[in-house]
Amino acid sequence: MSEAAGFTEDELETGRKLFAGEWDFVAGAGTAESLPRMQGVEVAFAGRSNVGKSSLINALTGRKALARVSDTPGRTQQLNFFQGAANLRLVDLPGYGYAKAGRAKAEAWTEIAQAYLAGRANLARVFVLIDSRHGLKDSDAGTFDLLDQAAVSYAIVLTKADQLKATEIETRVKETEAGIARRAAAFPVVFPTSSKLGTGLPELRAAIIRVMRERA
């Protein structure tokens, strides 16, 4: 996938080295007022509850428990910031679309997400995670709308690709590309990944390196 996506060996190797370095939890924010000050380059991860955001962050960084993994949807109620080398921060946004969370929590998520997305000048890209077994859902459209309106560049990451056959993944990628084709801020490359097997992680790291270099 690396050459098809246009990533160079340098980007792949730089990504490997960066994500193999030290990572630390540096801040959690449950309100707009408690967001940490802007620093370096931030890359955020969004997605429906239980889509595998924490597992992906742990897999990317080679850590077992950097981000808290839970089998209970809706557990992450704040934005969590993780600091790496080269002044890069990963931001884990609260999961959305969990029906039992209730309207109040859904509104609270929207409020802090809007505050973060609209006012974060150092936010380079948002990776929106989609469960490859289920594809795009109506709840994802609201997040895409929010990102389009905020003019924040975002890309789609398909998670749990190990649970589908290769032909099924190819079909899902094409369906996803078609679903975001007319989205103003959507990056055209879709990343199929597996946190369990490591599939697609080198390319995702390389994509982050490229974004960082574009911001330099």
1 found inside a domain: no
Residue-wise pLDDT for 124-154, tens only, equals 999 999 999 999 998 899 899 989 999 999 9
Across 98-110, average pLDDT: 62
Cβ proximity of 36 and 82 under 8 Å: no
**Per-residue pLDDT, 69:** 66
Question: Domain holding 145: CATH number?
Answer: 3.40.50.300
Residue identified by tokens 């802090």 is 112
3 found inside a domain: no
Compute how many other C-beta atoms are within 10 angstroms of the C-beta atom of residue 15. Answer: 23
Across 75-83, average pLDDT: 81
Q: Describe the crossing of helices 138-150 and 102-119 by its angle, rounded to 10 degrees.
A: 30
- Rg, C-alpha atoms of the chain: 16
62 found inside a domain: yes
Residue-wise pLDDT for 153-162, tens only, equals 999 999 999 9
The pTM for the full model equals 0.91
Structural domain including 74 reads 9-215
Number of compact structural domains in the chain = 1
